[in-house]
Amino acid sequence: MSLTRRDFARTSAVTGAGIALAGSVGALATAPNALAATEIDSAEGEQGHGHHGPGYGPLVPDPAGILALPEGFRYRIITYSGRTKLESGEFTPSNHDGTSTFDGPRGATLLVNNHELKGPRAGWQHPVPLTEGLVYDPAAAGGCTVVEVRRDQVAEWVGVAGTSTNCAGGNTPWGTWLTCEETEDKAGQNGMTKDHGYVFEVDPEDRRANRDPKPVKALGRYAHEAVVVDPKRGHLYLTEDASGPNGLLYRWTPPQGFRHGRGRLRTLADDAGALQAFKCFDSGGRFVDDLSRATRIGTVYGVDWVDVPDRDARTTSVRKQFTDGQVTRARKLEGMWWGDGGAYVVSSYARAESPVQHDGQVWFYDPKRRTLTLKVLLGVNPDPAADGAFDGPDNITVSPYGGLVIAEDGEGVQHLFGATESGRTYPIARNELNIGTAQEPEYSEFTGVTFSPDGRTLFANIQEPGIMLAVTGPWKRQKRG
User: Do residues 301 and 288 lie in contact, with contact meaning Cβ atoms separated by under 8 Å?
Assistant: yes
Residue 54 binned pLDDT confidence (cut-offs 50, 70, 90): confident
- How far apart CA 56 and CA 464 sit, in angstroms, is 27
User: Do residues 217 and 252 lie in contact, with contact meaning Cβ atoms separated by under 8 Å?
Assistant: no
Q: If you average pLDDT over residues 164-178, what whole number do you get?
A: 97
Mean model confidence pLDDT for the chain: 89
Residue 409 burial (CB < 10 Å; 0-12/13-18/19+)? buried
Residue 28 binned pLDDT confidence (cut-offs 50, 70, 90): very low
The per-residue pLDDT for 422 is 64
Strand order through the sheet with 67-70: 59-60, 67-70, 425-431, 415-419, 404-408, 393-398
Look up residue 186 and give its amino acid: K
3 state SS of 42: helix
Alpha carbon of residue 307 to chain centroid = 24
- How far apart CA 226 and CA 173 sit, in angstroms, is 15
**Among 467, 434, 466, 457, CA closest to 78:** 467
User: Do residues 209 and 263 lie in contact, with contact meaning Cβ atoms separated by under 8 Å?
Assistant: yes
The per-residue pLDDT for 26 is 34
The per-residue pLDDT for 66 is 97
Q: If you average pLDDT over residues 359-375, what whole number do you get?
A: 95
More confident residue, 381 or 244: 244
In this structure, the number of other CB atoms found within 10 A of the CB of residue 132 comes to 9
User: Do residues 458 and 428 lie in contact, with contact meaning Cβ atoms separated by under 8 Å?
Assistant: yes
Q: If you average pLDDT over residues 366-383, what whole number do you get?
A: 91
348-360, pLDDT tens digit by residue?
A: 989 989 999 999 9
Residue 380 binned pLDDT confidence (cut-offs 50, 70, 90): confident
3 state SS of 280: strand
Q: If you average pLDDT over residues 357-371, what whole number do you get?
A: 94
The per-residue pLDDT for 1 is 47
Percent of the chain with pLDDT over 90: 79
Instruction: Write the CA distances from 364 to 23, 407, 449, integer angstroms.
Output: 7, 17, 18
Q: Is the pLDDT of residue 346 over 60?
A: yes
Residue 391 binned pLDDT confidence (cut-offs 50, 70, 90): confident
DSSP 478: P
Q: Is the pLDDT of residue 179 over 90?
A: yes
- How far apart CA 18 and CA 33 sit, in angstroms, is 27
The per-residue pLDDT for 481 is 54
The per-residue pLDDT for 55 is 87
- How far apart CA 166 and CA 200 sit, in angstroms, is 10
Q: Is the pLDDT of residue 38 over 90?
A: no
User: Do residues 408 and 427 lie in contact, with contact meaning Cβ atoms separated by under 8 Å?
Assistant: no
The per-residue pLDDT for 423 is 62
The per-residue pLDDT for 421 is 72
260-308, pLDDT tens digit by residue?
A: 999 999 999 999 999 999 999 999 999 999 999 999 989 999 999 999 9
Q: Is the pLDDT of residue 15 over 70?
A: no
Residue ranges per structural domain of the chain: 56-90+381-393+403-481
